[in-house]
Amino acid sequence: MSMNITQKIISSHLVEGEMVAGEEIAIKIDQTLTQDATGTMAYLQFEALDIPRVKVPLAVSYVDHNMLQAGFENADDHRFLQTFAYKYGIQYSKPGNGICHQVNLERFSKPGNTMIGSDSHTPTGGGAGMLAIGVGGLDVAVVMGGSPFYVKMPEVVGVKLTGKLKPWVSAKDVILEILRRLTVKGGVGKVFEYYGPGIDTLSVPERATITNMGAELGATSSLFPSDDITRHFFEMQGRPDDWKSLTADVDAEYDGHIEINLTELEPMLAKPGSPDAVVKVSEVEGTPVEQVIIGSCTNSSYKDLMTVAEALKGKKVNPDLSFHITPGSRQVLETIIRNGALADMVSAGARIMETTCDGCIGLGSSPPSNSVSIRSFNRNWAGRSGTMDDSVYLASPEICVAAALTGKITDPRKLGDYPEVVWPDTFVADDSMVISPSNEPGSVEVILGPNIKTLPKAEPLSFDLEGKVLIKLGDGISTDGIMPAGPKILPLRSNIPAISEFVFSQIDPDFPARAKENQGGFIVGGENYGQGSSREHAALAPMYLGVKAVITKSFARIHKANLVNFGILPLEFADSAGYDAVEQGDTIKFSGVRELIKEGANSIPVQVGLDTFECTLDISDRQRDIILAGGLLNYTKLKHS
């Protein structure tokens, strides 16, 4: 049987189920990834399983989000993460070593491996031929405990690339073109697999830019073949033995098909509000800009920064804006220090930031009020930057540097000759900031700071559910909207009672108080509810506040799984009439819901006053058992007791 790459990787890791699109499968996982904003909770959850050592071949804990140490909270979390990793068998990437996805691509990626990570941009690893999937932290904890990872078998969409990018057109423009065509909902339940002659023109970092932003499509993952270009990348990393060839069979079939002629693409950007609001740069050219940032896990590679440095050489940044550059890893930073590119950036007037996520999650570099910021990032929902009236455009480093020089959105093709990036024979390969686990774990004390609170426990599902609709929302609510980030909120990730006070704080600041007053209740949402970040706190904090069910028109994949993991019913309206009939403050009731779920019912009746409407429960039999048990942690402990 001929297979595409996705099928090859899944078949070689398949533990349960059949490779039929839409059916639940279980696969063995080779690597896990966490970052500090999600890792502390994930490791508290792992500890609750009472397992002495992680059971995956490789687990890596990164610190790249909560780097601002304006109080003791973040530093305490980092100390907890390091001592926990030392005790339980996890590699620990220290603060300053770089952004998890960039470092993982450089130092730990392996073609043909499976990886899950408690960060939605984990598919970055697909640039090196991995099947890498973003999940919630509890999923990571359970897999580290020895369980396989459960997911619906995705449809595999073949994306054929032909031609070659023209000067000043970049990999960012490729994924923006796909977002323009498919929207942020277009990838749900799918893996995007790239092939065709055009891939031969893209380096591994360029491929990783494309797979990284596949997350904005809602995709399960995205990946490229492992070929001679991949082999060369591994040789430059000093890891030739980690490389292997991995390509689709010649007659491989796909569930869907897209074709993009790279030669026909133009520089593009996403307008403020959504990553799929994509237009050609020419349509907004001339817009004044007050801030430019180049960085994030999407565009902070050596290739990106060298292109920027060459464009800046001998020039000065426009005096009316602030220009920030964030290298993706210590490897990238040290390489551009040694070859002089950093000096060109500094001389031009750039602010060089630490190797962190920084402004991408609103943990620094927030723009001025009522201003335009253009960024080489992956998300631009209102307020994500840390400034509520922001106007954030997403664009390539090429467009960003053109704006930095001119003070306005500018077609980068007007800058002249496109810089030629000279690749080093080898990159700086210094892993001294990755700390290996202890050989004597019994002697290691895990240190918990005062901000790290006990893990909240969910109760098994009740026979009946009744309560008020606490909030009614529209379409496209992101996990940023449910559980915001930022320097005031993110340090509370290990303190659920404290962070729960910020649920929906940017949409409805009274929500937490209303949830407490009513002893919990229900959330109603529109299309693609929970899009974006994998942050499980967007489910965990509402669970703590007593939310028992979320009823929407449709869900984003990761958030729906997180709701199940914390024992919250993820229901979908059978039709729009149900959504229209419900208002905030209504009392709704699910009679005999526990028995219905136990019996395998797919339709759940909901009573609103004297009216009744139907909701759909689209989850697997295993997920039904998880809901009945009160969440994945309870389910896992019962299963292994």
Q: Which CATH number belongs to the domain containing residue 307 in this structure?
A: 3.30.499.10
User: What pLDDT score was predicted for residue 417?
Assistant: 96
Tell me, yes or no, whether 532 and 627 share the same domain: yes
Average pLDDT over residues 271-299: 97
Q: Which amino acid is at 641?
A: S
Q: Are residues 298 and 398 in the same domain?
A: yes
Residues 409 and 323 in one domain: yes
535 is catalytic: yes
What band does 508 get if pLDDT is binned at 50, 70 and 90?
very high
Residue 636 has pLDDT above 80, yes or no: yes
Closest alpha carbon to 114 in 211, 22, 191, 13: 13
pLDDT at residue 362, as a whole number: 86
**Cβ atoms of 569 and 627 closer than 8 Å:** yes
Mark whether 554 and 614 lie in a shared domain.
Answer: yes
Q: What is the pLDDT of residue 570?
A: 98
Q: Residue 458 — very low, low, confident or very high, per pLDDT cuts 50/70/90?
A: confident
Is 620 annotated as catalytic? no
Which of 63-77, 281-295, 313-327 shows the lowest per-residue confidence on average (mean pLDDT)?
Answer: 63-77
Does the structure show a pLDDT above 90 at 610? no
536-587 per-position pLDDT tens digit: 999 999 999 999 999 999 999 999 999 999 999 999 999 989 999 999 999 9
Q: How many residues does the chain have?
A: 641
- Whether residue 471 lies inside any domain: the answer is yes
In this predicted structure, the answer to whether residue 641 has a pLDDT above a threshold of 80 is no
What confidence tens digit (pLDDT) does each residue in 159-181 have? 999 999 999 999 999 999 999 99
Using alpha carbons only, give the angle 530, 535, 538 rounded to the nearest 5 degrees: 55
Q: Are residues 594 and 533 in the same domain?
A: yes
pLDDT at res. 536: 95
In 10 A of CB 357, how many CB atoms?
A: 30
Q: Are residues 375 and 513 in the same domain?
A: no
Looking at the fold, whether 489 and 598 belong to one and the same domain comes out as: yes
Contact 495, 452 (CB under 8 A): yes
Torsion on CA atoms 38, 212, 189, 379, rounded to nearest 10: 70
Output the CA–CA distances (angstroms, integers) from residue 519 to 470, 471, 516, in the order listed.
10, 14, 5
Q: Looking at the structure, do residues 509 and 406 belong to the same domain, yes or no?
A: no
Whether 171 contacts 206, CB under 8 Å: yes
pLDDT of residue 640: 77
Shared-domain flag, residues 632 and 487: yes
With bands split at pLDDT 50, 70 and 90, how would you rate the model's confidence at 68? confident
Q: Among candidates 25, 20, 214, which has minimal Cα distance to 134? A: 214
**Same structural domain for residues 383 and 510?**
no
Q: What's the CA gap between 463 and 122, in Å, rounded?
A: 38
Instruction: Tell me the mean pLDDT in the region 21-33.
Output: 97
Domain boundary among 397, 415, 433: 415
- The last residue of one of the domains, among 394, 415, 436, is 415
Domain annotation covers residue 174? no
Which of 30, 76, 77, 119 is the catalytic position?
119
* 274 given a catalytic annotation: no
Over range 345-362, report the average pLDDT. 94
The DSSP result for 361-397, as a single string, is: GTSS-PPPTT-EEEES-S---TTTTS-TT-EEEEE-H
Q: Mean pLDDT over residues 142-147, rounded?
A: 97
Q: Chain centroid to CA 380: how far?
A: 14
Task: Decide if 184 is inside a domain.
Answer: no
Percent of the chain with pLDDT over 70: 100
- Residue 493 has what pLDDT? 92
pTM of the shown model: 0.96
pLDDT band for 457, please (50, 70, 90 cuts).
confident
Q: Give the per-residue pLDDT at 129.
A: 98
Question: Any idea what the Cα angle at residue 196 is, between residues 423 and 6, rounded to 5°?
Answer: 95
Residue 563 included in any domain: yes
Strands 256-261, 521-524: pairing is: unpaired
The whole-number average pLDDT for the span 282-293 is 98
Owning domain of residue 470: 465-639
Tell me how far apart the alpha carbons of residues 274 and 271 are, in angstroms, rounded to a whole number. 7
* pLDDT per position as a tens digit, 299-326: 999 999 999 999 999 999 999 999 999 9
In a domain, 375, yes or no: yes
Tokens of 587: 């009392």
Known catalytic residue at 390: no
Please say if 228 is a catalytic residue.
Answer: no
pLDDT digits (tens, 9 = 90+) for 417-453: 999 999 999 998 899 999 999 999 999 999 999 999 9
pLDDT at site 117: 98
E-assigned strand segments in 233-296: 256-261, 268-270, 278-280, 291-294
Mean pLDDT score, 147-157:
98
- Spell out the residues 6+ positions from residue 459 whose beta carbon is closer than 8 angstroms to its own: 567, 630
Last residue of a domain, one of 354, 384, 415: 415
Q: Is 625 a catalytic residue?
A: no
Count of domains for the chain: 2
**In a shared domain, residues 474 and 393:** no
Q: Residue 471: helix, strand or coil by DSSP?
A: strand
Residue type, 486: G
Active-site residue, selected from the candidate residues 13, 30, 61, 65:
65
CATH number reported for the structural domain that contains residue 573 in this entry: 3.20.19.10
Q: Is residue 357 part of a domain?
A: yes
8 Å CB contact between 534 and 558: yes
Percent of the chain with pLDDT over 90: 94
Residues 479 and 352 in one domain: no
Which of 379, 493, 557, 624 is flagged as catalytic? 379
Give residue 511's pLDDT: 98
Q: What DSSP character marks residue 148? A: P
DSSP, collapsed to helix, strand or coil, labels residue 218 as coil
Please check whether residue 153 is in contact with residue 163, taking contact to mean a CB–CB distance below 8 angstroms.
Answer: no
Q: Which two tokens stand for residue 360?
A: 């991408």
563/617 Cα distance (integer angstroms):
13
- In 3D space, the residue among 183, 398, 408, 409 whose CA is nearest the CA of residue 277 turns out to be 183
* From 535, 557, 559, 624, the catalytic residue: 535
Mean pLDDT in the chain? 96
Does residue 574 lie within any of the structural domains?
Answer: yes
Q: Is 597 left (phi over 0), alpha (psi -120 to 50) or beta?
A: alpha
- Asked whether the predicted pLDDT for residue 363 surpasses 90, the reply is no
- Single out the catalytic residue among 274, 396, 533, 534: 533
In a domain, 360, yes or no: yes
The per-residue pLDDT for 67 is 86
